[in-house]
Amino acid sequence: MDASFWHAKWERGEIGFHNSEANPALIRCYDHLGLEQGQRVFLPLCGKTLDIAWLLDKGLRVVGAELSEKAIQGLFHELGVEPAIRQVGSLLLYQAEALDIFVGDIFDLSADVLGAVDAIYDRAALVALPPALRQQYTVHLRTITATARQLVICYEYDQAQRNGPPFSVASEEVHQHYDDYYRLSLLETQDVAGVMKNRLTAHETVWALQPLV
């Protein structure tokens, strides 16, 4: 799975993963991020999620990273905001008040370019990546955010029935990636229907990750 896969998804409008409202799990579990007004939250592989508008309404500063420029053009259009756009190395930076979105390969995003963040909300990044990339991603995420606390949403289902994305990321794998650096708390586990195209039922798991130091 490479960049062309996701660009093609957005070009064809195959964005069943894009919800028409803020994620209910975020609304229920938001307090576990421990954020105050004016603090900065990072959304990796954010797409044009309405969670961004919801977080902005909380008085937060939001920074995202997304591969598809088409998705980010859609995001700013739906927000009704005209962005300032500039090149930052190999990335494009779309900016508006309290909102920074880096467009390009997240692995090209450095800590210096990203800037300080107070928390990470990972709704769609870990589950979007195949197994070969997830270890690289979790290491990179910790590196560029100084191991900021996280709220992570995963799905568990039988991939023999249909493969991702979103991929099944079992609880054991979440622990493998993060146990050495975070204290993990499983906040919720519930059945969710329609995660996959064939309406396969999955278990949604919501995790709070607090840095060990």
Binding residues for S-adenosyl-L-methionine: 10, 45, 66, 123
Task: Report residue 41 CA to chain centroid gap.
Answer: 11
Do residues 135 and 143 touch, judged by C-beta distance below 8 A? no
Tokens of residue 70, six digits: 């088409």
What is the rounded distance in angstroms from the CA atom of residue 43 to the CA atom of residue 35? 14
Euclidean distance between CA atoms 113 and 93, whole angstroms: 10
Binding-site annotation: residue ranges: 10, 45, 66, 123
Q: Which residues contact 80 (CB under 8 A, 6 or more apart)?
A: none
